[in-house]
A and B are shown apart, each in its own frame.
Chain A
Amino acid sequence: MFNSSIGRKLIMALSGVFLIVFLTQHLVINLTSLIPDNGKVFNFISHFMGNNPVVQFILQPILILGVMIHFIMGMYLEVLNRRSRQTSYVVYSGKSGASWASRNMIISGLVILSFLIMHFYDFWVPEMVYKYVEFNPLDENRYFHELQEKFYKGGVVKLFLYCVSFVLLGLHLSHGFSSSLQSMGITRGPIKIATKFFAIIVPAGFIIIASFHYFITTINH
């Protein structure tokens, strides 16, 4: 089954939906950093996620595997699809009936991948070093402060890069979510409207969080 074009699309769809679920829980956790309790709830959840062995040693590797499968299969399908037209049109109105987002998933996908590398460098790598290289003592109150400091130190350039990436994430989701359902045989329609709504709400949430912490820390400094 997975050697067929439909099977490969199913792999893309399942890994995509898995990443959408992850994205949703990531947003919900990050939203707690907006609660005006000086980071109490955010610190509590972050400490749990960062030190729970199930999250750290089972869910985290599965997540990384999901990202890799989605990326590798996406690139593979792109290469196969490009091979299926060996001579290009002199004039090609590709936009006819197809949105920019649907025609350029590879571009938005590569931007998101670049963002992920930057995001890992900003947050995930220092966290791994803190816990598993330097073996620092547990501190369940450090997360909120670290989050704000990172956005402050990143400056307006980093904020801009984050916001651009989230816009591209929105475009990727605006096609990818409903496309995943179609690939799994679920006819679009009312669900499509819900997926478009999701594609606006989730990136907008991340933009608000990043902007909030950047501006708050900048004012406070």
Chain B
Amino acid sequence: MKLNLKIWRQKNKDSKGKVHDYELDGVEEDMSFLEMLDFLNNKLLNEGQEPVAFDHDCREGICGSCSLFINGVAHGPERGTTTCQLHMRKFKDGETVYVEPFRAKAFPVIKDLIVDRSSFDRIQQAGAYISVNTSGNTQDANTIPIPKHNADEAFNAATCIGCGACVASCKNSSAMLFTSAKVSQFSLLPQGQVERESRVLNMVNQMDLEGFGACTNTGACEAQCPKGISVKNIARMNREYLLASVKK
């Protein structure tokens, strides 16, 4: 398989990037997208050129490190899949493939295809935690009755891997799907009740400080989320936030 790759190259955070063209022959359809980039980088290194920098870690679709915008879609054309789990059989021989970093003011490009997503870390630090008594009298979590529906909803929200595809896909670069998933996974469980109100207030405040846009409920985030996180979480976060603001 031969591909015409158009890849965003940017030396560092402060430089101006642009799209570079690469012709890559010998791509196998069983390669993952990241393996294809490895293949390209081997070729570039053999030719004495600088390889393309891109983020990756587990390559199993669970770490959320890979953050590529492929042909105008976060994580590429296959729904419910991260870039590392996307395979080249989804592309045609001779196809032109645009590869760009996730773009948002709150996700500045560090180099080539790597963006700084520490804004997500700071949102989590603002409230995505619970207080646990460690004095020795701690109740075993498994002995606390939790309605099945709540447990399922909390688990679904907790499957968010924080990859940032929601921000990248949203026309407003809104981080509400991510933040709402992190709010929901705690607010639905008994262990999350102690900080329930301060959590949502602090996390939304931090989200706004980071420079993410506001949600206009287009649903693009849910459609392109590799874990299928539902926009119902955004409605839940709105509810939690408004109630917490009134009670404050």
Contact = CB atoms under 8 A, between A and B. Distances in A.
Contacts of A21: none
Contacts of B223: 96-98
B52 to A, nearest CB: 15
Contacts of A87: 103, 109
A80 interface: yes
B106 interface: yes
A134 B130 CA distance: 69
A92 to B, nearest CB: 5
B2 interface: no
Nearest to A187: B235
Contact of B106 (A1, A4, A84, A92): A84
B242 A81 contact: no
A5 B235 contact: no
B211 interface: yes
Nearest to A184: B238
A129 to B, nearest CB: 39
Interface stretch (A6-14, A53-61, A135-143, A152-160): A6-14
Interface string A74-94: 000100110111111111111
A81 B211 CA distance: 9
Contacts of B236: 185, 187
Contacts of A80: 213-214
A188 B235 contact: yes
Interface of A is mostly: loop
Given A91-B72, A182-B234, A9 B103 contact: no
Contact of B218 (A77, A86, A103): A103
A175 interface: yes
Contacts, number: 139
A48 B215 CA distance: 41
A160 B135 CA distance: 75
Q: Which of the four size classes fits the interface of chain A?
A: 35 or more
Given A85-B173, A185-B239, A9 B215 contact: yes
Contacts of B109: 87
Contacts of B224: 96-97
Nearest to A101: B218
B69 A89 contact: yes
B79 to A, nearest CB: 9
A186 interface: yes
A94 B171 contact: yes
A7 B245 contact: yes
24 contacts: A4-B204, A6-B214, A6-B237, A6-B242, A9-B214, A77-B216, A81-B216, A83-B211, A83-B213, A84-B174, A85-B104, A90-B6, A90-B19, A90-B100, A96-B169, A97-B220, A98-B219, A99-B219, A105-B216, A179-B216, A184-B238, A185-B235, A185-B240, A188-B232
Interface of A: 1, 4-10, 77, 80-81, 83-94, 96-99, 102-103, 105, 175, 178-179, 182-188
Given A81-B174, A92-B72, A96-B73, 7 more contacts: A9-B238, A83-B213, A84-B173, A91-B72, A185-B238, A185-B239, A188-B232
Q: Which 3 A-B pairs have the closest CB atoms?
A: A97-B223, A185-B239, A93-B72
